[in-house]
């Protein structure tokens, strides 16, 4: 029988990690065409909300309804293997869609917990390349996408055959503000594990679904999102 332990997470210092999942930041490079480098969605969204002074500064807020305009969509697939239970390393594949049209942007990963980072494909941008623990993007145009693969040390053994997968913070950041982002996360895990708990809990803007061996997450939010999934071994 599946057991769910609500609000009983062992406190692991995830806040000291940077980003197993990868976060997005963008910068408009100083050029003579600065107005063209400023993403149109910034002015549009601020005009719609009339709250330039109230730009989200990182606080997590789940959105009950999608914004009027499509937002950055982060798709991520995580595979936990039996070897992951030994060393903590999991496979991650992720794609980013509806990126902002800016001169330069980067996807940043935790430098101490990332290896084998590579760009799989990219479309409608001039360049996409790995630089240390980041993926650098140049010349982003209309309807861009980028997909990458990496290994991240995101699975932690808590003892007593309990394992916790930690991801995040997921975020869409521009200058000093955090803007709406959609996350679709899929977690695959071996048959000798059972999902017993997760956080955040299901709520408007954040939904977790599960079947044996597979967890799915759909989230729409602003700010910094961290996720935790706890598994129990049954061997």
**Any long-range contacts for 116-119 (C-beta under 8 Å, 24+ apart)?**
116/149, 116/150, 116/151, 117/148, 117/149, 117/150, 118/148, 118/149, 118/150, 119/146, 119/147, 119/148
Residue 116 lies in a domain: yes
Tens of pLDDT, residue by residue over 156-213, are 999 999 999 999 899 988 777 889 999 999 999 999 999 999 999 999 999 999 999 9
CA distance 183 to 215: 13
Tell me whether residue 40 is in a domain: no
- What tens digit of pLDDT does each residue of 176-189 get? 788 999 999 999 99
Query: Residue 194 falls within a domain, yes or no?
Result: yes
pLDDT per residue of the chain (235 residues) written in tens, 0 to 9: 334 433 222 222 222 223 445 555 555 443 334 344 555 555 555 555 555 445 666 799 999 999 998 899 999 999 999 999 999 999 999 999 999 888 999 999 988 899 999 999 999 999 999 999 999 999 999 999 999 999 999 999 999 999 999 998 999 887 778 899 999 999 999 999 999 999 999 999 999 999 999 999 999 999 999 999 999 998 7
The CATH number of residue 130's host domain is 2.60.40
Residue 120 within any structural domain of the chain:
yes
Using CA atoms, how far apart are residues 80 and 63, in angstroms rounded to an integer? 29
- Structural domain harbouring 68: 18-26+61-233
Domain-embedded: residue 42: no
Structure tokens at 225: 């999102």
Instruction: Count how many domains the chain has.
Output: 1
Asked if residues 202 and 208 have their Cβ atoms less than 8 Å apart, the reply is yes
Q: Locate the DSSP E strands across 87-213.
A: 89-97, 104-108, 114-131, 134-153, 155-159, 162-170, 172-174, 177-178, 181-188, 193-199, 206-211
Count of all residues that appear for the chain in the document: 235
Determine, yes or no, domain membership for 162. yes
Burial class (CB in 10 A: 0-12, 13-18, 19+), 11: exposed
- Mean of all residue pLDDT scores within the chain: 82
**Residue-level pLDDT at 17:** 26
**What pTM value is reported for the model?**
0.78
Q: Give the dihedral of Cα atoms 114, 143, 102, 63; nearest 10 deg.
A: -70
Does a structural domain hold residue 174? yes
Q: Alpha carbon of 144 to those of 25, 48, 55, 65, 86: distances in Å?
A: 15, 24, 25, 24, 37
| Residue 151 burial (C-beta neighbours within 10 Å; 0-12, 13-18, 19+) | middle
| Helices of type H across the chain | 34-37, 40-49, 84-87
9 Cβ partners below 8 Å, 6+ apart? 164, 197, 199, 228, 230
Question: Which class for 179: exposed (0-12), middle (13-18), buried (19 or more C-beta within 10 A)?
Answer: buried
The alpha carbon of 9 is separated from its chain's Cα centroid by a whole number of angstroms, namely 21
């Amino acid at each position: 029988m599946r057991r769910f332990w609500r609000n009983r997470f062992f406190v692991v210092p995830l806040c000291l990690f940077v980003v197993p999942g990868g976060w997005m930041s963008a910068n408009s490079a100083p050029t003579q065409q600065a107005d063209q480098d400023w993403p149109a969605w910034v002015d549009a969204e601020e005009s719609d909300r009339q709250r330039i002074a109230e730009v989200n500064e990182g606080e997590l807020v789940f959105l009950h309804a999608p914004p009027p305009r499509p937002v950055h969509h982060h798709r991520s697939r995580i595979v936990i293997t039996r070897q992951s239970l030994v060393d903590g390393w999991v496979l991650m594949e992720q794609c980013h869609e509806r990126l902002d049209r800016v001169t330069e942007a980067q996807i940043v990963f935790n430098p101490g917990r990332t290896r084998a980072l590579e760009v799989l494909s990219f479309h409608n941008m001039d360049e996409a390349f790995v630089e240390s623990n980041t993926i650098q993007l140049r010349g982003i145009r209309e309807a861009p996408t980028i997909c990458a693969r990496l290994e991240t040390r995101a699975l932690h053994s808590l003892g007593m055959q309990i394992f916790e997968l930690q991801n995040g913070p997921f975020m869409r950041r521009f200058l000093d503000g955090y803007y709406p982002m959609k996350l679709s996360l899929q977690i695959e895990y071996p048959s000798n594990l059972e999902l017993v708990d997760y956080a955040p809990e299901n709520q408007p803007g954040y939904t977790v679904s599960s079947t044996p061996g597979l967890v799915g997450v759909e989230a729409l939010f602003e700010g910094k999102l961290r996720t935790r999934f706890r598994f129990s071994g049954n061997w």
